[in-house]
Chains A and B, each alone.
Chain A
Amino acid sequence: MAIEIEKPAVGLSKVAVSDTHGEYSPYFAGWKAYDENPYDELWNSSGVIQMGLAENQVSFDLLEQYLEKHSEATNWGNRTSGFRDNALFQDYHGLQSFRKAMASFMEQIRGGRAKFNPDRIVITAGATAANELLTFILADPGDALLIPTPYYPGFDRDLRWRTGVKIVPVHCDSSNNFEITPQALDAAYNEAESHNIKVKGVLITNPSNPLGATIKRSTLEEILEFVTRKNIHLVSDEIYSGSTFSGEEFVSVAEVLEARDYKESDRVHIVYSLSKDLGLPGFRVGTIYSYNDKVVTTARRMSSFTLISSQTQQLLASMLSDRTFTENYIKTNRERLKKRHQMIIDGLKNSGIECLKGNAGLFCWMNLSPLLEEPTKESELTLWKSMLHEVKLNISPGSSCHCSDPGWFRVCFANMSEQTLQVALTRIHNFMDRRKAMKSSPDFSSY
Chain B
Amino acid sequence: MKKIRNSSTTTTTGGGGATTAMRVIVPLQGVVQGRGGLFLGSVIPCALFYFLQLYLKGRGGRKSGEPPAPPESSPSETHLREVSTLQRVHSRLLLSPRGTSGPAQVSSRANAIAKQADGTYCVGLKRAADDPYDEMNNPDGVIQLGLAENRLSLDMVQEWLADNTRESIISQDLSISGIAAYQSFDGLMELKVVVAEFMSQVIEKPQFFNPAQIVLTAGATPAIEILSFCLADPGNAFLVPSPYNPDLDRDVKWRAGVEIVPVPCRSADNFSLSTTALDRAFNQAKKRGLKVRGMIISNPSNPVGVLYNREMLYSLLDFATEKNIHIISNEVFAGSTHGSEEFVSMAEIIDTEDYDRGRVHIIYGLSKDISLPGYGIGVIYTFNENVLSAAKKLARFSPVSAPTQRLLVSMLSHTKFIQRFIKINRERVRRMYILFAGGLKLLGIECIKSNGGFYCWADMSSLIRSYSEKGELELWENLLNVAKVNATPGSSCHCVEPGWFRLCFSTLREKDIPVVIERIRKISETCISRS
How far is A143 from B5 in the complex, measured between Cα atoms in Å? 12
> Are B181 and A281 interface neighbours, CB within 8 A?
yes
How far is A86 from B367 in the complex, measured between Cα atoms in Å? 13
A312: which B residues are within 8 A, CB to CB? 401, 403-404
Is there a chain A Cβ closer than 8 Å to B58's Cβ?
A: no
A residues 285-302 with Cβ under 8 Å of B? 285, 291-298, 301-302
Q: When each residue 9-26 of chain A gets 1 if its CB lies under 8 Å from chain B and 0 otherwise, what string results?
A: 111111111000101000
Is there a chain B Cβ closer than 8 Å to A128's Cβ?
A: yes
> Are B176 and A67 interface neighbours, CB within 8 A?
yes
> Are B107 and A279 interface neighbours, CB within 8 A?
no
- The chain A residue sitting closest to B76, CB to CB, is A297
Is there a chain B Cβ closer than 8 Å to A139's Cβ?
A: yes
The residue from B86, B221, B399 contacting A304, defined by CB atoms under 8 A apart: B221
Is there a chain A Cβ closer than 8 Å to B268's Cβ?
A: no
Is there a chain B Cβ closer than 8 Å to A436's Cβ?
A: no
Known contacts being A13-B229, A291-B90, is A23 close to B393, with CB within 8 Å? yes
- The chain A residue sitting closest to B5, CB to CB, is A198
Is there a chain B Cβ closer than 8 Å to A361's Cβ?
A: no
Is there a chain A Cβ closer than 8 Å to B397's Cβ?
A: yes
B residues 89-139 with Cβ under 8 Å of A? 89-92, 94-95, 99, 103-110, 113-114, 125, 129
CB distance from A308 to the nearest CB of B (A): 6
A143: which B residues are within 8 A, CB to CB? 107
Is there a chain A Cβ closer than 8 Å to B237's Cβ?
A: no
Known contacts being A9-B358, A90-B219, A129-B398, is A137 close to B104, with CB within 8 Å? no
- The chain B residue sitting closest to A131, CB to CB, is B397
> Are B165 and A136 interface neighbours, CB within 8 A?
no
> Are A139 and B107 interface neighbours, CB within 8 A?
yes
B157: which A residues are within 8 A, CB to CB? 87
> Are A304 and B161 interface neighbours, CB within 8 A?
no
Is there a chain A Cβ closer than 8 Å to B407's Cβ?
A: yes
> Are A126 and B399 interface neighbours, CB within 8 A?
yes
Q: When each residue 217-244 of chain A gets 1 if its CB lies under 8 Å from chain B and 0 otherwise, what string results?
A: 0000000000100011100000000000
Question: Among the interface residues B256, B359, B397, which one has the most CB atoms of the partner chain A within 10 A?
Answer: B397
A75: which B residues are within 8 A, CB to CB? 161-162, 165-166
Task: Count residues on chain A whose CB falls below 8 Å from chain B CBs.
Answer: 94
- The chain B residue sitting closest to A228, CB to CB, is B104
B90: which A residues are within 8 A, CB to CB? 262, 265-266, 291
Q: When each residue 328-355 of chain A gets 1 if its CB lies under 8 Å from chain B and 0 otherwise, what string results?
A: 0000000000000000000000000000
A281: which B residues are within 8 A, CB to CB? 180-182
> Are B76 and A15 interface neighbours, CB within 8 A?
no
Known contacts being A136-B110, A262-B91, is A231 close to B181, with CB within 8 Å? no
Question: Among the interface residues A9, A10, A198, A262, which one has the most CB atoms of the partner chain B within 10 A?
Answer: A10
Interface pick from B199-207, B371-379, B467-475, B485-493? B371-379
CB distance from B137 to the nearest CB of A (A): 13
> Are A310 and B233 interface neighbours, CB within 8 A?
no
Is there a chain B Cβ closer than 8 Å to A149's Cβ?
A: no
Known contacts being A87-B154, A282-B181, A311-B374, is A8 close to B324, with CB within 8 Å? yes
Describe B's contact surface by its main secondary structure.
helix
> Are A305 and B225 interface neighbours, CB within 8 A?
yes
Is there a chain B Cβ closer than 8 Å to A39's Cβ?
A: no
- The chain A residue sitting closest to B91, CB to CB, is A262
The residue from A57, A115, A280, A306 contacting B218, defined by CB atoms under 8 A apart: A306
B109: which A residues are within 8 A, CB to CB? 136-137, 140
Is there a chain A Cβ closer than 8 Å to B310's Cβ?
A: no
Is there a chain A Cβ closer than 8 Å to B400's Cβ?
A: yes
Interface pick from B43-51, B77-85, B297-305, B443-451? B77-85
How far is A355 from B158 in the complex, measured between Cα atoms in Å? 54
B397: which A residues are within 8 A, CB to CB? 125-126, 128-129, 132, 158, 162, 305-306
CB distance from A143 to the nearest CB of B (A): 7
Interface pick from A77-85, A184-192, A362-370, A372-380? A77-85
The residue from B86, B165, B222, B231 contacting A13, defined by CB atoms under 8 A apart: B231
B residues 262-283 with Cβ under 8 Å of A? none
Is there a chain A Cβ closer than 8 Å to B409's Cβ?
A: no
- The chain B residue sitting closest to A299, CB to CB, is B110
Is there a chain A Cβ closer than 8 Å to B340's Cβ?
A: no
B159: which A residues are within 8 A, CB to CB? 77
> Are B374 and A310 interface neighbours, CB within 8 A?
yes
Is there a chain B Cβ closer than 8 Å to A382's Cβ?
A: no
A residues 148-187 with Cβ under 8 Å of B? 158, 161-162, 164
B163: which A residues are within 8 A, CB to CB? 77
A129: which B residues are within 8 A, CB to CB? 396-398
The residue from B94, B151, B176 contacting A60, defined by CB atoms under 8 A apart: B176
Is there a chain B Cβ closer than 8 Å to A64's Cβ?
A: yes
Is there a chain A Cβ closer than 8 Å to B513's Cβ?
A: no
A405: which B residues are within 8 A, CB to CB? none
A68: which B residues are within 8 A, CB to CB? 170
Known contacts being A13-B232, A87-B157, A231-B104, is A293 close to B83, with CB within 8 Å? yes
Is there a chain B Cβ closer than 8 Å to A327's Cβ?
A: no
- The chain A residue sitting closest to B223, CB to CB, is A305
- The chain A residue sitting closest to B321, CB to CB, is A7
> Are A308 and B401 interface neighbours, CB within 8 A?
yes
B390: which A residues are within 8 A, CB to CB? 12, 15-17, 21
Is there a chain A Cβ closer than 8 Å to B38's Cβ?
A: no
CB distance from A223 to the nearest CB of B (A): 14
> Are A16 and B403 interface neighbours, CB within 8 A?
no
> Are A119 and B86 interface neighbours, CB within 8 A?
yes
> Are B402 and A284 interface neighbours, CB within 8 A?
yes
> Are A12 and B231 interface neighbours, CB within 8 A?
yes
Is there a chain B Cβ closer than 8 Å to A200's Cβ?
A: yes
A158: which B residues are within 8 A, CB to CB? 396-397
Known contacts being A87-B157, A282-B179, is A302 close to B165, with CB within 8 Å? no
How far is A36 from B114 in the complex, measured between Cα atoms in Å? 47
> Are B165 and A76 interface neighbours, CB within 8 A?
yes
Is there a chain B Cβ closer than 8 Å to A55's Cβ?
A: yes
How far is A280 from B180 in the complex, measured between Cα atoms in Å? 5
How far is A141 from B109 in the complex, measured between Cα atoms in Å? 9
The residue from A9, A11, A77 contacting B158, defined by CB atoms under 8 A apart: A77
CB distance from A97 to the nearest CB of B (A): 13
A90: which B residues are within 8 A, CB to CB? 219, 367, 373-374, 376
> Are B372 and A87 interface neighbours, CB within 8 A?
yes
A residues 392-442 with Cβ under 8 Å of B? none
How far is A23 from B76 in the complex, measured between Cα atoms in Å? 39
- The chain B residue sitting closest to A283, CB to CB, is B401
Is there a chain A Cβ closer than 8 Å to B260's Cβ?
A: no
A87: which B residues are within 8 A, CB to CB? 154, 157, 371-375
The residue from B107, B166, B221 contacting A74, defined by CB atoms under 8 A apart: B166
Q: When each residue 334-376 of chain B gets 1 if its CB lies under 8 Å from chain A and 0 otherwise, what string results?
A: 0000000000000000000000101100000001000111111
The residue from A55, A140, A292 contacting B9, defined by CB atoms under 8 A apart: A140
Known contacts being A15-B229, A129-B397, A136-B255, is A89 close to B107, with CB within 8 Å? no
**What are 27 A-B pairs with beta-carbon distances under 8 A?**
A7-B324, A9-B356, A10-B324, A10-B356, A10-B358, A11-B293, A11-B324, A57-B177, A74-B170, A75-B166, A88-B151, A89-B147, A90-B376, A128-B397, A136-B107, A138-B106, A162-B394, A198-B5, A233-B104, A262-B90, A265-B90, A281-B182, A284-B399, A291-B90, A294-B99, A305-B222, A309-B375
Task: Report, nearest first, the 6 A-B pairs whose CB atoms are least far apart.
Answer: A77-B162, A282-B402, A310-B374, A16-B230, A16-B390, A77-B161
Other than the known A13-B229, A67-B170, A308-B401, what 19 A-B pairs have Cβ atoms closer than 8 Å?
Answer: A11-B324, A17-B390, A57-B177, A60-B176, A74-B165, A75-B165, A80-B158, A89-B149, A90-B219, A117-B83, A117-B86, A162-B394, A231-B104, A284-B399, A291-B90, A307-B376, A309-B374, A309-B376, A311-B375
Interface residues of B (CB under 8 A from A): 5, 9, 76, 79-80, 82-83, 86, 88-92, 94-95, 99, 103-110, 113-114, 125, 129, 147, 149, 151, 154, 157-163, 165-166, 169-170, 175-177, 179-183, 218-219, 221-222, 225, 229-234, 236, 250-251, 254-256, 293, 324-326, 356, 358-359, 367, 371-376, 384, 386-387, 390, 393-394, 396-404, 407
